[in-house]
Amino acid sequence: MGRRRNQTAMPLVRRRDGRPYVPFSRTISRRLGLRRLVITGRQAGRVVGLMLLLGLTWVLVDFFVNYAFFVYDADIRGNHLLSAQAIYEASGIDGYSIFWIQPEEVEKKLEAVPYIRKATVRCRLPNQVEITVQERKPIILWRMKNRALWVDEEGKAMKPLRDLPDLIRVEDENGDAATASGDMDPEITLGIQQVRRLLPEVNLFYYNRSHGLQFVAPGGVQVYLGDGRDMAYKVRVMDAILHKVKAEGHTVHLVDVRYKDEPYVR
């Protein structure tokens, strides 16, 4: 036979008349139904919270699916070479909710376009997008055997979109001035600009691996400049040689300053 566990009974407090004593607060709670009210209030709070959650969920879903927040055009600014439609298509935002568009990612996508140096994207509710671009400025028309490219001041090459006046022409039949990425070597690009500033009348250059950058000076003198380095010094040396030859009454057909400290004249 198992042992019964000892249970300590709570002492029963009685009144003087012998009736059990019940705390006043418990009596009032029973009479007024406060306990039931508390339970009912808790349930009502849960219902209200659930309703608020459902309402917030509905609002969020409406934000993402409501066509009022979807983008179907953009305000394009700063473009001169590319059309606004071409920039908008390159952005990849057409038909997206404004809440799904990440401006930084759109900017990276636009700056991958060869004609765009920098892009800034701003979004505003409900579905407004502003795209401001800084386009590259072509300064060189680079002609090779089978194609021609625009080149900007940094050497970035891009397909010509139309005829542009006043571009510096560079004839490079074999594409020897190209880098591995297909752009023009930045040193050669810089060298061309330096020569052009010193000799603005020169608008046509040639380039090959053997003689580097070349042009024909006034009077029909062929000039070899080599790579794009030290162009200002090489032009001064060439100019001094031509003045000396002219003063002495000699005729010269070639000035080779590829090696700046050892010029060659023929």
**Cβ contacts of 78 within 8 Å, gap of 6 or more:** 132, 133, 134, 135
Residue at token pair 């400025």? 137
pLDDT at 239: 93
pTM of the shown model = 0.74
Tell me the C-alpha distance between 198 and 91, whole Å. Answer: 41
- Which band of pLDDT confidence, cut at 50, 70 and 90, is reported for residue 195? very high
Mean pLDDT to the nearest integer, 109-117: 97
Handedness of CA 217, 222, 228, 229 (dihedral sign): negative
pLDDT at 6: 52
pLDDT at 38: 55
pLDDT at 261: 86
Q: Would you say residue 216 has pLDDT above 50?
A: yes
Question: Alpha-carbon Rg of the chain, whole angstroms?
Answer: 42
Tell me the C-alpha distance between 205 and 212, whole Å. Answer: 10
pLDDT at 205: 98
Amino acid at 57: T
Q: Would you say residue 152 has pLDDT above 70?
A: yes
DSSP symbol at 18: S
- Which band of pLDDT confidence, cut at 50, 70 and 90, is reported for residue 34? low
The percentage of residues in the chain with a pLDDT greater than 90, rounded to a whole number, is: 68
Tell me the C-alpha distance between 28 and 216, whole Å. Answer: 113
Per residue in 52-87, pLDDT (tens digit) is 776 676 666 665 667 889 999 999 999 999 999 999
pLDDT at 37: 52
- Which band of pLDDT confidence, cut at 50, 70 and 90, is reported for residue 194? very high
Arithmetic mean of pLDDT over the chain: 86
Q: Would you say residue 121 has pLDDT above 80?
A: yes
Per residue in 228-262, pLDDT (tens digit) is 899 999 999 999 999 998 899 888 999 999 998 89
